Amino acid sequence: MSADDLIEHCRTHLANYKVPRTVRLVDSLPRNSMGRVLKAALRERESAVGQSDV
């Protein structure tokens, strides 16, 4: 499944305001020892990627 396929699927099943504008596919998510997703690490990763795109 590609990012475009996922967005198209959302367009057919969700209200327009809920459809994501962009999708970034990753191999894995950073997790703590309890298995929860580390949201702060995701934000740092996104800000680092966003700065390198500019």
Domain range annotation of the chain: 3-53
Instruction: Determine the straight-line distance between the first and last CA of the chain, rounded to whole angstroms.
Output: 27
| Beta carbons of 29 and 43 less than 8 angstroms apart | no
Please name the fold of domain 3-53. Answer: GMP Synthetase; Chain A, domain 3 (3.30.300)
For residue 38, CA distances in Å to 22, 29, 33, 35, 48 come to: 21, 8, 10, 9, 16
> 7 exposed, middle or buried (CB, 10 Å; 0-12, 13-18, 19+)?
middle
**Segment 7-50, tens digit of pLDDT:** 999 999 999 999 999 998 989 999 999 999 999 999 998 888 76
pTM of this prediction exceeds 0.95: no
The three-class DSSP label of residue 49 is helix
- Length of the chain (residues): 54
